[in-house]
Structure 1
């Protein structure tokens, strides 16, 4: 599945803010961490504010805070803000051949499975997965050690 840049920015922003729900994070910090254009991110953040998932705090030390419910918020909720997630009924009307109808049925079934999966993954689940990945990386990273030769040199 290929997602638009805006969608990915939205997912990254919500992940960052939800993982630090007790803090305000600046748009600049999010943009820097994920190598996102600050102008593009600002537009995405406005969409997330309008959706009442995040809150903007102005002024010195301001930024954004997560105000959504990570247990109820799903990947599909964010993706639907930036992508057209509705099936295209006009496509089915064009299918004049059995092969075409069969192929489009399979593709619609795949879309349905993808939507069901996206709808089933909450941000709480995703944040737990990120935490597991982080711990695995820490355990598997080679430790830097200073070796001293037997001669002491």
Structure 2
């Protein structure tokens, strides 16, 4: 399974904003930090605003700030705004009953992997992800 770029960029934006909910950042601030096009991140931020995870603050010094609930919002909640996380085997049409059964079995396996991945992403809150990233940063600084 591969998470689409829009979902990954949304996670960057949400985690960046959630790291300090009182702080406002512009789309350009986030785009520059993560090497993303400002146009692309602005589009993602609009979706996050509609979902009420992020608030757009207008005017001078405006930007975006996190308004979700960090200890209840999961990575799957954010990813689900941009994709369904469903894998499908890209196989040619099977010839015969045995080949069809093999393709069906492989699709069943990928479906199970998708279900496990979703279950894991649904247990990791933004708060957990931020705490883990802060701990990782501290460990890296000590090396």
Please state which band the TM-score falls in when normalised by the shorter chain: 0.7 to 0.9
Distance 2:108 2:5 in 1: 29
Is 1:34 paired with 2:34?
yes
Distance 1:107 1:2 in 2: 12
Count of residues paired in the alignment? 136
Give 1 or 2 for the bigger CA radius of gyration.
1
SS at match of 2:59: coil
Gaps of 5+ in 2: 89-93
Distance 1:98 1:24 in 2: 54
Distance 2:117 2:76 in 1: 10
TM-score normalized by structure 1?
0.82
Equivalence map 1:5-16=2 (5 Å): 5-16=5-16
TM-score normalized by structure 2?
0.87
SS at match of 1:22: coil
Distance 1:4 1:111 in 2: 14
Name the Cα RMSD after superposition: 2.0
Is 1:106 paired with 2:109?
yes
Distance 2:110 2:40 in 1: 32
Tell me what 1:136 maps to: 139
Q: Quick check: 2:55–2:64 contact (8 Å CA) kept in 1?
A: yes
